Chain A
Amino acid sequence: MSDNTKNDAPPERPLKAYAFDPSQGRNLGNYMTINVRNEALQPGPVGKYLVVIDYDASNDTYYEPVNLDDPAVLLRGGLDPSESDPRFHQQMTYAVASETIRRFEFALGRKAKWGFRGGRRTDPNRYRLRIFPHAMQEANAYYSRDLQGLVFGYFPASETDAGANLPGQTIFACLSHDIIVHETTHALIDGQRRFFMEPTGADTPAFHEGFADIVALFQHFSYKEALLEVIQKTGGLIYRLNVAPEVAPADGGPVIAPELSTENPLVQLARQFGEAMGMRAALRQALGTQPNSKDLEKLFEPHDRGAILVAAVFDAFFSVYVRKTRDLMRIAKAGGATVGPDDLHPDLANRLAKEAAKIAGQFANICIRALDYCPPIDILFGDFLRALITADYDLVPNDRYQYRAAFIEAFRLRGIRPQDVASYSEESLRWCPPEEMKGVTAPVCKGLDFDVFSLPTPAQQKRNAIILSLFGKNNAEALGLRPGIPVQAHSFHPLHRVAPDGGLRVEIVAELMQQTEVHLDPNDQQSEKFTFRGGTTIVLNREGQVRYAIQKSLGKDDDQNERLRRQREYYYAMDAISGLTTYLPPPPLDGRPMNFNLIHRGY
């Protein structure tokens, strides 16, 4: 059966999965089919990007791998959802991770890449992301660059406060759609921006977390059935936290199940997981608190802080949705229909669902595309806003539906203020070409060799790397690099995008990196050293002209270096907060990668 990629093979492979998680039963379109790109699979499954290895470290055992190419399985469109059959779990992690990869490739206009550098040479799976659906007995899941994979845990639900779960029932992180998307996104970001895993400030780990949640949440809007149901029950107001009960309760309050209002699953993450841990609610909500600019000064735990970013993006999304569907609602009302829960006309509901799905897809794309416009390190939420605005402007200069205005307003409301920007106007937020920044013209980078339609060969890559490093070195000043310090080119790739007008845009993105060793305490030459990085993301057009040079300059180790000061302070604070260093020797600060295992304790 390994030949099914021949011409007559279907382009897609249907696989069943939970849209949310097992606790949702058949509610709200929870049983869904994901159409993944068809590829030849070995048992595991093992595909081009992914290898599912069902090894359980807590029990030191494997679970039988699923063979998705088995005709019996193929005919049924994959195995049916089941909590007790590990092969379904393998199938679901494979399907959801594949769907997430595809989403990225679509938005970025290029093949996905992983952030780890292969393992043992003899390992046939060394370039694949490994998925361990049942790695450990623990309420946790995380991406580990060291293990080159996604690690999911399982655990017994709380005995006293299990929410919709049975007390003590086994909960599987790998059956939560959100958690799979979230963790896969971590791995995908790491493949684009490997230095984002270095926590250089409160915003960096929070960005990783927030971004992963954003991707997971937008995914919800592609589940047509679930979306339709929520639209029906909220009268189209899909951002509401609760959906109306099936039957309106009498004055005395609800007495039977259909009279209970339920939470809107579209705006919640990993509900079963949260409930099973006795938290009585979904793990995180996209919305739910009033925007306020104080949170940024108060919240430093990566998930909490990341939630501010998530809320900003969803605020923008829902604003655009409301704006774009206002006419539909008006038309419906003009026709005499009441527009409220339960009496939405099916046609209207359908139209709204289509709109919501479309806008969600666009927003997800904008966010993912913005990654290419982010600085190579030390990302701040404000940088991300600038990246969003620039990325979207490049593709869609005419902002007819005011997507960008919605982003700006939502970020502004939450006090996310980009550095060195005169105002919140679109013009000042857009990154600018180097001549506008420093008054120096950057010459053209010539000789880069990118094939538009396939991944560059290793020889091409090597040559390109040399050209780019030299380019950086020779134009250090214009590109915001520090002259006299070696420049390394990291993760450079062509991007092709089809604009709404049908035009194909080809550009090249590259990270130019520099580093230096500095003391943790500038006044104490005995204090530990760490690697301080600087760098610039350059975006070149097809001709090699620098369109943007997005900079985090290395600068000098002096009082002027605001960024270095911030990073030092952050290290102090982190060590002080973690407590890890109290009883164990301090970990080396040199590019200390983020430990998602710790950040994610409990997801």
Chain B
Amino acid sequence: MPDELDSNTIRIRMYRVGFGDCFLVSLPLTGDAGFRHILVDCGVHGKGNIGTMDEVVDNIGTITDKKLAIVIATHAHQDHISGFNPEKFGKFQIGEVWMPWTEDPKDAKAATLKKKHVALAAQLNDHFEAQAFSGARVSKSRAAAAAAVANLVANKTSLQALHSGFGVDARVRFLKAGDSLQSGDVPGLSLKVLGPPTDEKFLAKMDPPAGHSYLRLDGNRVESANQLRPFSSKWEIKPTDSDLQNLRLSEAERKRIKDEVASDSLDGLAFALDKAINNTSVVTLFAFRGQVLLFPGDAQYGNWEAWLQQSDAADILSSVTFLKVAHHGSVNATPKDALEQMSPGKFAAMVSTQSTPWPSIPRGPLMDRLKQQTKNKTIRSDSLAIKDIKAPKGPVVSKLPSGFVKGDFWYDYFIKL
């Protein structure tokens, strides 16, 4: 197996950014004409940031000579786009910027959906932050929900940069399931877009349920959890008052009620919203000189479902030779149906992940199964220790599977053509 780039080798570099994605795919041109580079996502979650992003972007600049044929922002989550710093990328030469159709400002459906998502995310975030600020006890579920919502906000700068083609005349394209592209600039590369779909059924799932508008879609106010007192104070009785007699609840019971009523409901909404955004992920299939690389972004079940039902799904899956594992290896993001249809031992997998901020990610059984299906050719970003960086430790890898090479803060996977 090769361990450096030559005209017969594809290199996929997975940077360790923390909880986030940043993949650089380098494809050789025939002869000694050099390489074309495709950057798939560049972001890290605020609560899972290990502080390598600056170096990562510098490294991308160095090894690509600041020339990127295509930049793909799979979806508008912080952990996939926060690194698209306009200052830095403004100095690159960028051919095209690809985003999901749900980002297309000219698409009416997309625009409506987007507006809703943004408003809802902002409100949830305000609400959760106010709660955290008030010092109230935060349940596990709420902490997880707050982290999910944090991922949705504060993406303005990156999004603007992407939409403007980084101010360097990059061609901005919005992709949807069914598109197939031939990029003139990368000879030999053909692309198939598998997601996100545009049909009504899918869209319905993207819509936060109507009942949720109680979060006051108009208000940008930060509202603390205990702001409203519904009655004049003359009606209030302290929980310890003996006048309450049989109506008095024990402290434990009051706590139980508080837990039940105060926590669950908004969390579910936050998760639903997060999942909706994940499902806008552009899912791209790169076919290049016999190799088939699948980059599903953070697609979760709803997105996969649509194309798994297509007649060519089985053929596609069995032909895959490289898989970027979706959504950091969470449950629901790699359907069993899909993984089982890939050819055992034929493909390698990379998982950009770590257990912070969500301890349930990556999902253990999925990691085990991936190892089996790839015949051990699976690598997790969090198995990489980085000098002077404190980061959550994944399982230690004693011997790298063939084709994988460790870098300072990345893993490379080389495919011989």
Q: Mark A residues whose CB is within 8 Å of B.
A: 42-44, 46, 51, 53-65, 84-87, 124-125, 132, 134-140, 144, 146-147, 151, 153-156, 158-161, 170, 172, 277-279, 298, 301, 303, 521, 524, 526-527, 572, 575-586, 595, 597-598, 600-603
Residues of B within 8 A of A582 (CB): 271, 274-275, 300, 327, 330-333, 358, 360-361
CA distance A509 to B302 in the complex (A): 42
Residues of A within 8 A of B247 (CB): 43-44, 46, 51, 53-55, 62, 65
Which B residue sits closest to A527, measured CB to CB? B365
Q: Does B227 contact A (CB under 8 A)?
A: yes
Q: Does B141 contact A (CB under 8 A)?
A: yes
CA distance A600 to B211 in the complex (A): 8
Q: Is the CB of A170 within 8 A of B218?
A: no
Q: Is the CB of A136 within 8 A of B218?
A: no
Given contacts A159-B218, A583-B361, A598-B265, contact A57 B257 (CB under 8 A): yes
Q: Is the CB of B262 within 8 A of A58?
A: yes
> A576 touches which one: B204, B213, B219, B332 (CB < 8 A)?
B332
- In the complex, besides A63-B235, A582-B358, A601-B211, 9 extra interface pairs with C-beta distance below 8 angstroms are A44-B247, A578-B272, A579-B271, A582-B271, A582-B330, A583-B271, A583-B330, A597-B260, A602-B213
Q: Does B148 contact A (CB under 8 A)?
A: yes
Q: Is the CB of A60 within 8 A of B239?
A: yes
CA distance A64 to B301 in the complex (A): 49
Residues of A within 8 A of B236 (CB): 59, 61-64
Q: Is the CB of A278 within 8 A of B217?
A: yes
CA distance A351 to B77 in the complex (A): 63
Which B residue sits closest to A585, measured CB to CB? B360
Q: Does B268 contact A (CB under 8 A)?
A: yes
Given contacts A55-B239, A577-B302, A583-B145, contact A138 B268 (CB under 8 A): no
Question: What's the minimum C-beta distance from A268 to chain B, rounded to whole angstroms?
Answer: 16
Q: Is the CB of B275 within 8 A of A579?
A: yes
> B300 touches which one: A61, A139, A576 (CB < 8 A)?
A576
Question: What's the minimum C-beta distance from A126 to chain B, rounded to whole angstroms?
Answer: 11
Residues of B within 8 A of A140 (CB): 214, 265
Question: What's the minimum C-beta distance from A78 to chain B, rounded to whole angstroms?
Answer: 17
Given contacts A58-B262, A62-B247, contact A583 B213 (CB under 8 A): no
CA distance A42 to B247 in the complex (A): 10
Q: Is the CB of B237 within 8 A of A278?
A: no
> B144 touches which one: A137, A572, A584, A602 (CB < 8 A)?
A584
How many B residues face the partner with a CB closer than 8 A? Answer: 68
- B residues 185-220 in Cβ contact with A at 8 Å: 201, 204-205, 209-214, 216-219
Residues of A within 8 A of B336 (CB): 521, 524
Question: What's the minimum C-beta distance from B48 to chain A, rounded to whole angstroms?
Answer: 12
CA distance A278 to B116 in the complex (A): 14
Q: Is the CB of B226 within 8 A of A59?
A: yes
Q: Does B91 contact A (CB under 8 A)?
A: no
> B239 touches which one: A43, A61, A147, A595 (CB < 8 A)?
A61
Which A residue sits closest to B141, measured CB to CB? A584
Question: What's the minimum C-beta distance from A159 to chain B, rounded to whole angstroms?
Answer: 5
Which 10 pairs from chain A and chain B are nearest by CB?
A602-B211, A576-B301, A139-B214, A579-B275, A579-B271, A160-B218, A136-B261, A583-B144, A62-B237, A57-B258
Given contacts A62-B239, A63-B236, A584-B141, contact A144 B269 (CB under 8 A): no
Q: Does B181 contact A (CB under 8 A)?
A: no
Q: Is the CB of A138 within 8 A of B147?
A: no
CA distance A140 to B213 in the complex (A): 12
> A144 touches which one: B213, B245, B260 (CB < 8 A)?
B260
> B147 touches which one: A85, A160, A583 (CB < 8 A)?
A583
Q: Is the CB of B235 within 8 A of A579?
A: no
Q: Is the CB of B237 within 8 A of A63?
A: yes
Q: Is the CB of A46 within 8 A of B246?
A: yes
Given contacts A62-B247, A64-B237, A279-B213, contact A580 B271 (CB under 8 A): yes
> A58 touches which one: B226, B274, B300 (CB < 8 A)?
B226
Q: Is the CB of A61 within 8 A of B230?
A: no
Question: What's the minimum C-beta distance from A196 to chain B, rounded to whole angstroms?
Answer: 21
Residues of B within 8 A of A153 (CB): 261
Residues of A within 8 A of B1 (CB): none
Residues of A within 8 A of B358 (CB): 582-583
CA distance A46 to B245 in the complex (A): 11
> B212 touches which one: A56, A58, A136, A601 (CB < 8 A)?
A601
Q: Is the CB of B228 within 8 A of A595?
A: no
Which A residue sits closest to B200, measured CB to CB? A298
- B residues 242-274 in Cβ contact with A at 8 Å: 244-247, 249, 254, 256-258, 260-262, 264-265, 267-269, 271-272, 274
Residues of A within 8 A of B227 (CB): 137
For this complex, 27 residue pairs linking A to B, each with C-beta atoms less than 8 Å apart, are A42-B245, A44-B246, A57-B261, A57-B262, A60-B258, A62-B236, A84-B231, A156-B228, A159-B218, A159-B219, A161-B218, A277-B213, A278-B216, A278-B217, A303-B211, A575-B301, A579-B275, A580-B271, A583-B144, A583-B271, A595-B264, A597-B265, A601-B209, A601-B212, A602-B213, A602-B214, A603-B211
> B265 touches which one: A54, A63, A138, A160 (CB < 8 A)?
A138
Q: Is the CB of B302 within 8 A of A576?
A: yes
Q: Does B62 contact A (CB under 8 A)?
A: no
Q: Is the CB of B360 within 8 A of A583?
A: yes
Residues of A within 8 A of B361 (CB): 582-583
Question: What's the minimum C-beta distance from B120 to chain A, rounded to whole angstroms?
Answer: 12
Which A residue sits closest to B269, measured CB to CB? A601
Q: Does B238 contact A (CB under 8 A)?
A: yes
Which A residue sits closest to B232, measured CB to CB? A84
Question: What's the minimum C-beta distance from B398 to chain A, rounded to whole angstroms?
Answer: 25
Given contacts A44-B247, A144-B260, contact A137 B360 (CB under 8 A): no
CA distance A576 to B265 in the complex (A): 18
- B residues 319-356 in Cβ contact with A at 8 Å: 327, 330-333, 336
Q: Does B390 contact A (CB under 8 A)?
A: no
Q: Does B225 contact A (CB under 8 A)?
A: yes
Which B residue sits closest to A125, measured CB to CB? B246
CA distance A64 to B247 in the complex (A): 11
Q: Is the CB of A132 within 8 A of B238?
A: no
Q: Is the CB of A146 within 8 A of B260?
A: yes
Question: What's the minimum C-beta distance from A402 to chain B, rounded to whole angstroms?
Answer: 37
Interface centre among B147, B204, B247 (most CB of A within 10 A): B247
Q: Is the CB of A56 within 8 A of B268?
A: no
Which B residue sits closest to A297, measured CB to CB? B201
Residues of B within 8 A of A56 (CB): 230
- B residues 127-155 in Cβ contact with A at 8 Å: 140-141, 144-145, 147-148
Question: What's the minimum C-beta distance from B296 to chain A, rounded to whole angstroms?
Answer: 15
Which B residue sits closest to A151, measured CB to CB? B261
Q: Does B229 contact A (CB under 8 A)?
A: yes
Q: Does B241 contact A (CB under 8 A)?
A: yes
CA distance A415 to B216 in the complex (A): 37
Q: Is the CB of B249 within 8 A of A138?
A: no
Given contacts A64-B237, A124-B246, A597-B260, contact A583 B254 (CB under 8 A): no
Which B residue sits closest to A170, measured CB to CB? B230
Which B residue sits closest to A44, measured CB to CB? B247
CA distance A156 to B365 in the complex (A): 45
Question: What's the minimum C-beta distance from B305 to chain A, rounded to whole angstroms?
Answer: 8
Which A residue sits closest to B249, measured CB to CB? A55
Question: What's the minimum C-beta distance from B134 to chain A, rounded to whole angstroms?
Answer: 12
Which A residue sits closest to B327, measured CB to CB? A582
Residues of B within 8 A of A527 (CB): 365
Residues of B within 8 A of A146 (CB): 256, 260
CA distance A170 to B275 in the complex (A): 32
Residues of A within 8 A of B262 (CB): 57-58, 136
Q: Is the CB of B261 within 8 A of A580?
A: no
CA distance A245 to B74 in the complex (A): 54
